[in-house]
């Protein structure tokens, strides 16, 4: 019985799907960060990395996106954020490549990988949402009326992505007969 054999049993299957966990999660963190940065920072312009750090009690608008200076600072920090997400995608791809090209030569249906990618995206939302929106308060999903609801919705989306991705990867099955192609 080979590792890619669907009859290998649940333990072998679970171990095999776990081999895609790290690359999938790292890819999900990077891709989730890109969705956040491109959609919320650039297209919708709801927030930037530091727009929530102004202290209204002091009348400080140093990082406000409504001033040229504040927008310049936020653009640099948004660029650093995108650099981080780009590096996460590159690292995730390198990890995935190392898993796919190892001596076992197993090939998996995309459910395993995409499930782990969704887990990573959800983890990005949860960590970024808790740290940046609630603990550090450096920005909110959408400032203004109902900003707490937007921030909580972002966390709920993250939790749904983690759960949905976990469930999706659990349904992955190996492609039969792939191990026999290892020597070709």
Q: pLDDT tens per residue, the chain (184 residues)? A: 344 455 555 666 566 677 889 999 999 999 999 999 999 999 998 888 888 776 555 455 667 777 888 888 889 999 999 999 999 999 999 898 777 765 455 555 578 888 999 999 999 999 999 999 999 998 999 988 999 999 999 999 999 999 999 999 999 876 665 553 333 3
Classify 53 as helix, strand or coil.
Answer: coil
In angstroms, rounded to a whole number, what is the distance separating the alpha carbons of residues 32 and 177? 34
- Output b/e per residue, 111-122; b: 16+ Cβ within 10 A: bbbbbbbbbbbb
The per-residue pLDDT for 102 is 58
Q: Give domain limits for the chain.
A: 20-178
The per-residue pLDDT for 143 is 87
The per-residue pLDDT for 183 is 36
Classify 14 as helix, strand or coil.
Answer: helix
The per-residue pLDDT for 52 is 76
In angstroms, rounded to a whole number, what is the distance separating the alpha carbons of residues 43 and 88? 22
């Amino acid at each position: 019985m080979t590792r890619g054999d669907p009859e290998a049993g649940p333990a072998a299957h679970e171990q095999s799907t776990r081999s895609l966990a790290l690359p999938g999660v790292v890819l999900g963190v990077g891709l989730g960060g890109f969705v956040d940065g491109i959609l919320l920072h650039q297209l919708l312009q709801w927030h930037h990395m530091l727009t929530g750090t102004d202290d209204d009690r002091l009348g400080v608008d140093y990082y406000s996106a409504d001033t040229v200076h504040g927008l310049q600072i936020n653009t640099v920090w948004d660029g650093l954020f995108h650099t981080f997400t780009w590096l996460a995608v590159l690292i995730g791809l390198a990890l995935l490549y190392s898993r796919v090209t190892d001596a076992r030569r197993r090939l998996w249906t995309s459910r395993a990988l995409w499930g782990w990618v969704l887990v990573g995206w959800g983890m990005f939302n949860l960590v970024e949402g808790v740290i940046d929106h609630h603990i550090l308060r450096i920005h909110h999903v959408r400032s203004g009326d109902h900003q707490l609801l937007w921030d909580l919705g972002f966390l709920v989306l993250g939790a749904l992505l983690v759960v949905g991705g976990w469930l999706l990867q659990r349904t992955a099955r190996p492609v039969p007969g792939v191990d026999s192609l290892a020597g070709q």
